[in-house]
Amino acid sequence: MHEKHLYEYAVIRVVPKVEREEFINVGLMLFCKRQKYLRIEHQIPAEKIRLCCPDFDVEQLEENLTSFTKICSGKQEGGPIAEFEIAERFRWLTAVRSSSIQTSRPHPGFSTDLDKTFEKLYTELVL
């Protein structure tokens, strides 16, 4: 029998007009402390975003989400936050903010295969 691991995930959202509070899911982060697992992926539906806000800066969004990825993966070019422990990076990335990039509250679950769980959640919530 495969061991089940407690994980948390958060959906990454873009909020084209913060004052309207409408969002589009663009990515997912999945974290498991026990397995020292932190994974992030994103995709930007530029057309959909521009339908909500024609002058939205999609290039800046890509730059910002790339920073999220660098922090998540612990890469040196991710700056000082990327040097935090995995749990601290996840908590920092999922902190409540009122910017155009936000995350859902973390949601818990159990998984015997974190990559498979990530793929399933990403397909259901982002694609």
Q: What is the pTM of this model?
A: 0.94
Digit-coded pLDDT (tens) for 59-107: 999 999 999 999 999 989 999 999 999 999 999 999 988 789 999 999 9
Which among 98, 87, 93 is positioned nearest to 70, based on CA atoms?
A: 93
- Sequence spans of domains, the chain: 5-125
- What average pLDDT does this structure show over 5-17? 96
Rg (CA), the chain: 15
